Structure 1
């Protein structure tokens, strides 16, 4: 019986540390990083760059996520969506969590320096600091435009994947980064509308709290139009072909439909459904980029 109790405790502790890294967010980030890697070359990506490059990016991103948990643990305790997080409930102490974050970040940097290149490592570090320090530590509490300005850090994975393969920055990965940058506000503001009362209770100046839902919904529509325009640019600059163009148009039209449904307020739960669709949108858009890339190579 004692052994069983110990095993259950160990399993719960392991899950707590995994939760600190925000694994669901990491998966989406790694997909965009992988696409960035494969789009960067007409040949195959070297296995050591593919495996250890993405692992390094994931470890650094996980470290930034842990810092986010530490900084926000008092806020998390006030919100229904986050009150069961490990630090908010005291299952992991802030000091131990910071040590874990440093271990993840240093391990990730070491892998990137050893198996990719210095530029990829430095850009990943800049992204980590941008999210963990600038966004989480300052912008989130300072301005209702927090998610717009801080979105640059979250938009970095395709650039990081590209640079890990090539060792340099070019227009194409910056365009991929711009797509995620334009996607972030309508994605996150939809969630912020759904959780408006919780953000207000926690005194976080999210746009629906400071400017109201109507204003936020209008800006979701506007940013979704911007996103649609930006998402067509890979085709315009001949980075992708017709397959991607059709997918981008179809996915973007559906996103716009959800944005207008949310704006009109004609359906219940439109905000959270718009948020959920936005995740599928980004996943499918980058998969379309990848499929189109290899289709063009085989023509």
Structure 2
């Protein structure tokens, strides 16, 4: 029964959207929307913006599935995706991605604003084409460079509410940009044999796990510095700082443990913590914002 359910077309199309990744992106986008205004933003605008950004992110994810289909078929982590299993073919995947992308742009242009639509399109194109087609296979710094495209959701959310690129929105983007390498490299260490098999030059493949662990540690220290900036710039207050610092210290602790233990289990624990970290950090920004408005 379970195998039949897993092959249902709707579930295959949902898998193309990478719902877990998109959900995290949408959370940071919504935080950007709420931080952009005093009080509550117009609910209709929030809904339209969320739908547009979600559809664009899902379109980019579907294109990623298409481009990576051969590598996905070889890697144990991805071999059960819709294209390697034959549940969906190239025409179906590309058609789905096209419909999602066009709908996203129409929603954003007609119901939000043109600036958000343009920035969302650039993010979609950057992740789906520039990163997946070129950067991912061109340089071990692929995650660092390509991380700029994945860091845009809070900027998009902010722009959706204000129709401007605000320095605070860029600061939110910077936080995700610096968080991305230690987040993904922890996973890449645990899966380095699979990346080597498909000749994708992730940092642990080209420079070794030990060098990558050091980079993760250095990035977590840099992340601590960057995440203090919302407090130093007056964007957030002591509530945020009081929550952010323990989160940063814990992330550094995990990075140090990776240096000490040198095993895949610790790498996966670090990867798991990094997801909790970014979620709680952005929640802290939100809590601080609304508490400060009431004071």
2:188 to 188, 192, 211: 192
Partner of 2:116: 120
Distance of 1:9 and 1:168 partners within structure 2: 45
Partner of 1:22: 18
Deviations 1:225-279 (A, max 9, x none): 1111101100000100101001110100000000000011266610000000000
1:169 to 156, 165, 171: 165
Report the 3-state secondary structure (helix = DSSP H, G, I; strand = E; otherwise coil) of the residue aligned with 2:8: helix
Distance of 2:132 and 2:141 partners within structure 1: 13
Distance of 1:196 and 1:292 partners within structure 2: 39
Deviations 1:19-38 (A, max 9, x none): 00000001100000000000
CA contact (8 A) 1:261 1:267 kept: no
Of 87-96 and 134-143, the range deviating more from structure 2:
87-96
Structure 2, gaps ≥5 residues long = none
Partner of 2:147: 151
* Deviation of the 1:12 alpha carbon: 1.2
Distance of 1:121 and 1:268 partners within structure 2: 40
Deviation >2 Å, runs of 4+: 8-11
* Deviation of the 1:139 alpha carbon: 0.3
Distance of 1:268 and 1:105 partners within structure 2: 37
CA contact (8 A) 1:63 1:102 kept: yes
The change in CA–CA distance for 1:231 and 1:9 in structure 2 (over 3 A counts) is closer
1:257 to 253, 257, 274: 253
The change in CA–CA distance for 1:267 and 1:207 in structure 2 (over 3 A counts) is closer
Distance of 1:266 and 1:147 partners within structure 2: 21
Please give the root-mean-square deviation of Cα atoms over the aligned residues, in Å: 1.3
1:179 to 175, 179, 190: 175
Distance of 1:114 and 1:178 partners within structure 2: 29
Matched, 1:281 2:292: no
Distance of 1:203 and 1:288 partners within structure 2: 39
* Deviation of the 1:43 alpha carbon: 3.0
- Paired residues in the alignment total 293
Distance of 1:30 and 1:258 partners within structure 2: 26
